Amino acid sequence: NAGVTQTPKFRVLKTGQSMTLLCAQDMNHEYMYWYRQDPGMGLRLIHYSVGEGTTAKGEVPDGYNVSRLKKQNFLLGLESAAPSQTSVYFCASSYETGGANQPQHFGDGTRLSIL
């Protein structure tokens, strides 16, 4: 039972390069989320999705795009990477039923460095 899987686990980019982070969940969860984690700032929500084909902005969406073409996958894209996007990125998913009392299940993170 894999849960939430993030690929890649590590990546180094040069400023201006683009890349896509992939998140896959096998729990049939309706909701999926992308967060970034920076020292002293906790987790901040970038984008989220309430179902296949839907996406919405979170707290810090600028510079990122997302897509949810399949229920089990949630992609996070950086079109033109900037050093300020150096961070650890976490994907999470949760059930719809029961609302916000359903906890989120997290992947192990992607460590991204922008030079």
Question: Can you give the binding site for other proteins, defined by CB under 8 A?
Answer: 4, 31, 33, 35, 40-45, 48-50, 56, 58, 90, 92, 94, 96, 99-109
Smallest separation (angstroms) from other proteins to the CB of 80:
27
Nearer to other proteins, 28 or 101 (CB): 101
Smallest separation (angstroms) from other proteins to the CB of 1:
15
Tokens 């984690």 — which residue? 37
Nearer to other proteins, 17 or 65 (CB): 65
Nearer to other proteins, 14 or 62 (CB): 62
Smallest separation (angstroms) from other proteins to the CB of 72:
17
Report d(CA 112, CA 98) in Å as an integer.
34
- Give me the count of residues in the chain: 115
Distant-in-sequence, close-in-space partners of 100: CB < 8 Å, separation ≥ 6: none
Decide if 68 contacts 91 (C-beta within 8 A): no
Nearer to other proteins, 2 or 14 (CB): 2
Smallest separation (angstroms) from other proteins to the CB of 17:
25
- Tell me which amino acid residue 5 is: T
Distant-in-sequence, close-in-space partners of 50: CB < 8 Å, separation ≥ 6: 30, 31, 56, 96
